[in-house]
Amino acid sequence: MDPVYVWLVALVAFVIIEIATMGLTTIWFAGGAFIALFLALVHVSVYVQIGVFLVVSIVLLICTRPLAVKFFNQKTTKTNVDSIIGKQAIVLVEINNLMETGQVMLNGMEWSARTYEEGKIISAGAVVEVKEIQGVKLIVIEKVKE
C-alpha cells in the first residue's frame, strides 16, 4: 500500500479520535502524521517518515500539551466540595479506619470521615482538619491543640 494513503488514514483516524475524546492527546499524533504525509508525497524513505512521525508527535505532545490544557481548562471552577479542604471539623463518632467508623460535623453537615494516617484513631470531640476528599468521605488529620 502506498505510504501516502497510510498517513492519510492515520491522520483522519487521529483527528476523529481527538474529536470523540477531546483528551488533547491524539491531536499531536495527527500533527506527526501530517508531516509524514507531506514527506510521503515527496517520496522520502518510509523509515524517515516513521522516524519523523514519532519525533514530531512526541515533541508536540511534550512541548505544547501543557499549554493547550491550561488554555482549554481556564473555565474550570472549584466546586463547593473543594472549598472544604483545609477547614476544621468536630469529630462526632470516633474515627477508626480499621473499623470503618467515623463521622464529623462541618459547616452544619455530618460527613463520614477517615484518618489520613493509617492506624491512627481520633476520638469523639476532637478537632480535625480536612486534608482531602475521597468520594463522600473526608480524609482528616487531628488538629494539634496549641
The top-level CATH class assigned to 81-142 is mainly beta
Ranges of each domain in the chain: 3-72, 81-142
Helices 3-21/46-72 angle, 10° precision: 20
Residue 80's Cβ-count burial label (10 Å; 0-12, 13-18, 19+) is exposed
Q: What is the pLDDT of residues 4-63, one digit of tens each?
A: 999 999 999 999 998 998 777 788 899 999 999 999 999 999 999 999 999 999 998 888
Could you give the 3-state DSSP secondary structure of residue 24?
Answer: coil
pTM of the model: 0.49
Residue ranges of alpha helices (H) inside the chain are 3-21, 26-41, 46-72
Percentage above 70 pLDDT, the chain: 92
At 33, list the grid cell: 502524521
User: What is the separation of C-alpha 114 from the centre of its chain, rounded to a whole number of angstroms?
Assistant: 23
